[in-house]
Amino acid sequence: MEKDKDEVLMGKGMKVTLMNPKEKLEQKLAEVKRIDKLNAMRIAMTHIEAQGLKVDPKKATEIADEFLEWLKK
């Protein structure tokens, strides 16, 4: 086990993980960033389909990144 994280077994097979608050915050921020990226990809796909565009995956990713920047503002 890592020194910043401990796993404790509690009654009836329940397991609780204790971790460094900084590590937990980093995990939460990474999850929020991942969800924002997925939302931007959904918006981009809706835009691409609505416009009837035929784009390669690289261009779709660029469009998604533009929407992600827009969402941050």
Written as six digits, the tokens of 19 are 């971790």
Mention every residue, 6+ apart, whose C-beta is less than 8 A from residue 53.
none
Can you give the residue ranges of every domain in the chain? 20-72
Residue whose entry in the numeric block shows the structure tokens 């809706």 = 46
pLDDT at 31: 92
**Could you report the per-residue pLDDT of 21-67, keeping only the tens digit for each?**
888 888 899 999 888 888 888 888 888 889 888 888 888 888 888 88
Residue whose entry in the numeric block shows the structure tokens 């992600």 = 68
Q: How far is CA 13 from the centre of its chain?
A: 30
pLDDT at 46: 87
Written as six digits, the tokens of 53 are 């565009």
